[in-house]
Amino acid sequence: MIEGAGSSTVERDRKAEHIRLALSRRMQFERNYLDDYRFEHSGLPELDLDDVDVGTSFLGRRLGAPILISCMTGGTGEAARINRNLAIGAERHGFAVGVGSQRKALEDPATADSFAVRPYAPNVPVLANLGAVQLNYGCGIEQCRQAVAMIAADALVLHLNPLQEAIQPEGQTRFAGLLDRMAEVARELEVPVVAKEIGCGLSAAVGRRLLSAGIRILDSAGLGGTSWARIEAARAGDDPLGELFANWGIPAPESIQALAALPGVTVIGSGGVRNGVDVAKAIALGADVVGLAFPFLGAAAESAEAVDAVCRRLVRELRICMFCVGARNLAELRRVALTRTADGGSR
């Protein structure tokens, strides 16, 4: 039994409120730190647009593009529809796809179907998801295995969110000793573990500690995207607290570069990625795969066709960007220099 479980209605309402608030532009960071970087245009790319290859591999499966539809939601009827639409788009375009925290489904198995993306995405990487801090509240290796089995996942994301938990009215804030428990999961679980921040970024120092714990896939989720400080403060009726911490964290480009410098790490670059040019920048900064959430959320709430349109546009934007810098494939894109044009800065 996960400590603190028991109120399915409260959890369901919280999930629904997260979706509603996350769709608000006010909850998105005003500044995209990826805009501080630019490519040098090549007027003579010496390749054909049709020859640009954006494919890659991730978690033992082939991707049509280096894109992960990041972990978002689950546990409600609306979340089930959103996850289904995301999975259909991911399968059609060869993107990886993650689900929101499955804690709700472990507490209330009746909600497990809202996370069931594998039937709609049989051939792409699927990522299960639990809050890392829940390892300090009664969640152990068996619950992690249940989360993976629930959706036939290729990996388990353990998300790190100390700021969100500190502001959230129902927050779980016992983070002491967490690294050892994460290491145990990484050692015993049958699929890889991914460590992911949710919007404040992972530093090089934290990356090294996670690497020492046997976790070799790191998701930067840096500053620049959805502000969970604002969302949880709005839920708590304390908007000033949310504004105070809205700029807290490591800008996404800095986090991506810091993690990419670590040996033997697969980097998922995320945090304010909004279009295909941002995807290209994240790859050039060192990411292996790039995660996006907000650009898909509104579309997924609408229809599978709307998600399909977002997927097609992202791939087209990425290919055009690569063509205009003379990068035939992702390996060549990683060798393309980016110029920093502004001082990002962060609190």
Which of 26-30, 169-173, 219-223, 226-230 comes out lowest in average pLDDT? 26-30
Residue 27 has pLDDT above 90, yes or no: no
pLDDT of amino acid 262: 98
Region 267-288 average pLDDT: 97
Residue 346 lies in a domain: no
From 327, 340, 330, 334, select the one nearest 41 (Cα to Cα).
327
What is the pLDDT confidence band of residue 28, given thresholds at 50, 70 and 90? confident
Res 81 pLDDT > 80: yes
> Can you state the angle between helices 178-188 and 141-150, rounded to 10 degrees?
50
Split at pLDDT 50, 70, 90, the class of 77 is: confident
Residue 124 lies in a domain: yes
Least confident of 71-80, 85-94, 300-309: 71-80
Domain that holds residue 276: 8-340
197-211, pLDDT tens digit by residue? Answer: 999 999 999 999 999
Q: Residue 310 belongs to a domain with what CATH number? A: 3.20.20.70
Domain assignment of residue 200, yes or no = yes
In a domain, 3, yes or no: no
Q: How far apart are the first and last CA of the chain?
A: 38
For all residues of the chain together, what is the average pLDDT?
92
229 has a pLDDT exceeding 70: yes
Establish if 191 belongs to a structural domain.
Answer: yes
- Average pLDDT (130-139) is 97
Residue 1 is assigned to a structural domain of this protein: no
Residues of the chain above pLDDT 90, percent:
84
Look at 190 and 342; give whichever has higher pLDDT.
190
pLDDT greater than 70 at residue 16? no
pLDDT value of residue 344: 46
The mean pLDDT of 299-316, rounded to a whole number, is 97
Whole-number pLDDT of residue 343: 57
The Cα–Cα gap between 257 and 298 comes to 29
How far is Cα of residue 121 from the mean position of the Cα atoms in its chain?
Answer: 18
- The reply to whether 239 falls in a domain is yes
pLDDT tops 60 at residue 195: yes
Rounded to an integer, the average pLDDT of 251-256 is 98
pLDDT at 225 exceeding the cut of 80: yes
What gap in Å lies between CA 60 and CA 156, rounded to an integer?
14
How many angstroms separate the CA atoms of 306 and 298, rounded?
9
Neighbours of 60 (CB within 10 A): 10
Task: Judge whether residue 345 has pLDDT over 50.
Answer: no
Residues 326/291, Cβ–Cβ less than 8 Å: no
* Cβ-based burial of 69 (10 A; exposed 0-12, middle 13-18, buried ≥19): buried
pLDDT interval class at 346 (50, 70, 90): very low
User: How many domains does the chain divide into?
Assistant: 1
**Helix pair angle (178-188, 204-212), 10° resolution:** 50
Asked whether residue 345 is assigned to any structural domain, the reply reads no
